[in-house]
């Protein structure tokens, strides 16, 4: 049921400009800003979402808590699956390098949040059901979604193959960087001229800048204390001082995830 192939790295350009927000989805493929090389065995929940055979976004293997559905679901950002025709996408898992020869999981169903707004990036979440189950190993494991909001200042790790800088060069190797959860009031004040920080958004970064997710990291996981608290969504550029990355807030979307896993799991 698995297909094997060598991933072709490309510079396909996708720009999503709204009146008040800019998704981190300009040049595809690249790496985290200010991060370091890491191994998929350190972050086995991380996946690469492929569009037309090339990396377009990150994602994470969802731990559903049910042996019948574990390994069949991936969480990503809604803006990563637009248009959301399932046959355009596939999921590559268990890899540290994007060009690794590895099995892929084909996509069966994609559900974007019904309230997703591409102009504001609100409700930027999508659930992917796979045709074939991801087998678990030291390089592929599901992660639990958090139902509890993290405290301000909580350290969290974001991973992906996104750019090292705005429009930066490609990185074939998975990257990781540690950032801290930012007070939502502080974040809303900083972003006031550019967009609204809603209750479905979580900000994380460092005051001096230099550490952040970037283009190509979209849809990837922000993890604290072993649970996923955010999904890479948008931001003003990458790693700018005073402008932390903006993530979809998983605890605020937890009930939506649970509801849709139950619906799709019964199909």
Closest to 165 in 3D by CA, of 97, 215, 235: 215
From 29, 48, 60, 79, the catalytic residue = 79
Catalytic residue list contains 137: no
Give residues with Cβ within 8 angstroms of 262, minimum separation 6.
Answer: none
From 102, 213, 218, 248, the catalytic residue = 218
Catalytic residue list contains 113: no
User: How far is 127 from 83, CA to CA, in rounded Å?
Assistant: 14
Q: Is 117 exposed, middle or buried (0-12, 13-18, 19+ CB in 10 A)?
A: middle
Strands (E), the chain: 3-5, 36-37, 46-51, 54-61, 73-76, 89-93, 102-112, 126-130, 155-160, 175-182, 201-205, 221-224, 227-234, 245-249
Compute the CA torsion angle 12, 162, 122, 231 (nearest 10 deg). 140
End-to-end CA distance of the chain: 19
From 122, 124, 212, 217, the catalytic residue = 124
Catalytic residue list contains 225: no
CB 118 within 8 A of CB 16: yes
Which residues form the catalytic set?
Answer: 79, 124, 218
């Amino acid at each position: 049921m698995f297909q094997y192939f060598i991933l072709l790295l490309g510079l396909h350009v996708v720009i999503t400009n709204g009146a008040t927000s800019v998704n981190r989805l300009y040049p595809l493929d690249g790496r985290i800003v200010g991060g370091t090389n890491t191994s998929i065995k350190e972050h086995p929940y991380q996946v690469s979402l492929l569009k037309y055979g090339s990396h377009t976004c990150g994602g994470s293997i969802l731990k559903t808590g049910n042996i019948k559905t574990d390994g069949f679901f991936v969480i990503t950002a809604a803006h990563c699956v637009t248009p959301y025709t399932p046959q355009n996408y596939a999921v590559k898992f268990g890899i540290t390098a994007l060009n690794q020869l590895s099995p892929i999981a084909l996509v069966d169903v994609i559900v974007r949040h019904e309230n997703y707004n591409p102009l504001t990036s609100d409700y930027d979440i999508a659930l992917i059901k796979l045709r074939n189950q991801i087998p678990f190993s030291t390089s592929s494991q599901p992660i639990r979604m958090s139902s509890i909001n993290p405290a301000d200042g909580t350290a969290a790790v974001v991973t992906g193959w996104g750019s090292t800088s705005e429009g930066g060069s490609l990185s074939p190797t998975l990257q990781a960087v540690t950032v801290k959860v930012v007070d939502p009031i502080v974040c809303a004040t900083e972003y006031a001229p550019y967009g609204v920080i809603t209750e479905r958004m979580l900000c994380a970064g460092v005051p001096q800048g230099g550490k952040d997710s970037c283009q190509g990291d979209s849809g990837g996981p922000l993890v604290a204390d072993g649970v996923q608290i955010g999904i890479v969504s948008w931001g003003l550029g990458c790693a700018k001082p005073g402008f932390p990355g903006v993530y979809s807030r998983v605890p605020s979307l937890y009930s939506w995830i649970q509801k849709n896993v139950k619906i799709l799991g019964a199909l």
